[in-house]
Amino acid sequence: MKALLLAVCLVSLMFTCGASEDGPPASLAVLPDRRRHLRGEKFSLHCSVNDGNSTGWMLRRLQGGEVSSGCLQLNGTESTGRPEECGFTDIDSKNSGLYWCQGPDIDQKSNSVNITVSYGEVHLLSPVLTVMKGDSVTLQCNVKLYEFNQIIFYKNGVKVLSRSGTQMTIENVTQADEGFYKCAIANSTLESLENRLSVRENSTADSNDEKPSSGSLVWLSGLCIILVLLVVLPVLWLMFPGHREKFLASLNGASRRERIQQEMPKTKQDVTEVQWDLPWMEMDNLLDKQQHPGS
């Protein structure tokens, strides 16, 4: 039992010192890469587990306050040889909802993706996930059963582009390009719903900036060693009572001997010792008197 307690303490400290904020243990990707899809189209969801072990993981969807689990229960089709991928064809409103990957433990979750299946005549297709700074992003305005001459793109309600084509490309995106985008047919009331575009710093740059220095690693290692000693030493003290008693007895014995030595009376100094403490001239006279008593 005591050995088990020691092991638990050590393992807990190892996890405490080695913990890191590396994000969710899995990621959910959408193909094609967009949140909004059109009725009758198809899309697939791919759940990628960081450690490569997808056992116990399943796709889940929140729709209308109810949670459904498993690709088949979600009216999807599992890919042959790739159970982590679920495909949906001829989609409609029943396929809308919030999707995520759920692991065996309740706290094991991937990022979530909100999928919307639209029925309107105009749709803006944009990336489903946050794009990296410096990338190129293409916004696609899909128009169904309607002839048009001009497409107008808006950002946060302000017109940013008018063109005859259906695409708007943003080169080398930055945080300044973040916002809510939509498209509309010129000279009509037909427009799409707004889609949010999010941009974040390059992950490589982030990892380099956040990489701890050697000094901080040394400090962290020293702190972990101190924590281990603070836990291990008291546990060892409790685990071995026999050695503890011997140690206390030895301390008491040493203290008693020291006390006895301090209490012993001091002996009178020998004459020779006193003589050697005298100055040289007095010592010389004293020796002459001892050699010539009559003088």
Task: Say what the pLDDT of residue 113 is.
Answer: 92
Q: Supply 84's token pair.
A: 């982590």
The whole-angstrom separation of Cα 276 and Cα 271 is 9
What are the contacts of 215-224 at 24+ separation with CB within 8 A?
220/17, 223/17, 224/13, 224/16, 224/17
Look at the pTM and tell me if it is higher than 0.75.
no
**Mean pLDDT in order along the chain per 10 residues (295 residues):** 47 45 80 86 92 88 93 90 87 93 91 87 83 92 82 95 92 94 89 90 55 54 73 63 64 59 52 47 58 58
Give the per-residue pLDDT at 206. Answer: 45
Structure confidence at residue 251 (pLDDT)? 58
Alpha helices by DSSP H, listed for 34-73, are none
Asked whether the beta carbons of 63 and 99 are under 8 A apart, the reply is no
Q: Report d(CA 20, CA 117) in Å as an integer.
A: 37
User: Rounded CA gap, 94 and 75, in Å?
Assistant: 9
Q: Cα 232–236–237 angle (5° rounding)?
A: 115
Query: How many helices and strands in the chain, by DSSP H and E?
Result: 6, 18
